[in-house]
Amino acid sequence: MFSLFIFASSAEPVVDFCVADFNYPVGPAGYPCKNSAKVTADDFVYSGLSVAGNMSNVFKLGLSSAIDLTFPALNGLGIGMIRADIGVGGVVPLHSHRVSEIIYVVDGTVTAGFMGSDNKAYYKTVKKGDVMVVPPSLYHFSVNVGNTPATLIASWNSANPGIHTVTTSIAANNLPTDVIQKTTLLDATQIEKLKKMFGGK
């Protein structure tokens, strides 16, 4: 005679959804849940990716994201999306996330790729309909090499993947120029130029 006990895994959800409640601070597991009695169908629909982003910047890049901060219904679901509109000659600058990313080319032609931890570059020119995957934490980029604007849609396995952009990490901070020069081997004049462009001190 024996008894069979079945325990629910701690990874299994205990609620259907958890629309973010921004009245409370975010924690390691995301935001607290909005009262489900106040949740409506509108909470699960987001139109922020329907229009092109503003490309009038140094990178000729417009971004529109669907993450927990912009689309609260994603809170706790482990998914997120972004739309990238890249002008002719524009770029998605070298950056990284803490999660994996999959990129779909909606329109245009771009050279996209990433660098492995051994510094080997994996890159390819991709066009409309192509998909590329980027492993987590690796630096990656896209360059519009076509004659028309390009549009990419990317998805992450996180509702808030975080972003670490090389250029702004160097130039949008208050680290002294001489320290940046010593730690990156960049020329001081170039560092000062970038700091003026990106608001560093």
**pLDDT tens profile 9-63:** 445 667 899 999 999 999 988 999 999 999 999 999 999 999 999 999 999 999 9
CA angle 45, 162, 113 (to 5 degrees): 100
C-alpha–C-alpha distance, residues 200 and 88, integer Å: 27
Tell me the backbone φ, ψ of residue 191, rounded to 5 degrees.
Answer: -60, -45
CA angle 145, 147, 153 (to 5 degrees): 65
Q: Are 78 and 98 contacting, i.e. CB atoms less than 8 angstroms apart?
A: no
What pLDDT score was predicted for residue 151? 98
142, 167, 162: which is closest to 62 by C-alpha?
142
Helix (H) or strand (E) holding 128: none
What pLDDT score was predicted for residue 3? 43
What pLDDT score was predicted for residue 8? 40
Label residues 165-178 b or e (16+ Cβ within 10 Å = b).
bebbbbbeeeeebe
pLDDT along the chain (201 residues), means of 10: 43 84 93 96 98 96 98 97 98 98 98 98 98 98 98 98 95 95 95 94 86
Q: Are 138 and 114 contacting, i.e. CB atoms less than 8 angstroms apart?
A: yes
What pLDDT score was predicted for residue 29? 87
C-alpha–C-alpha distance, residues 10 and 12, integer Å: 6
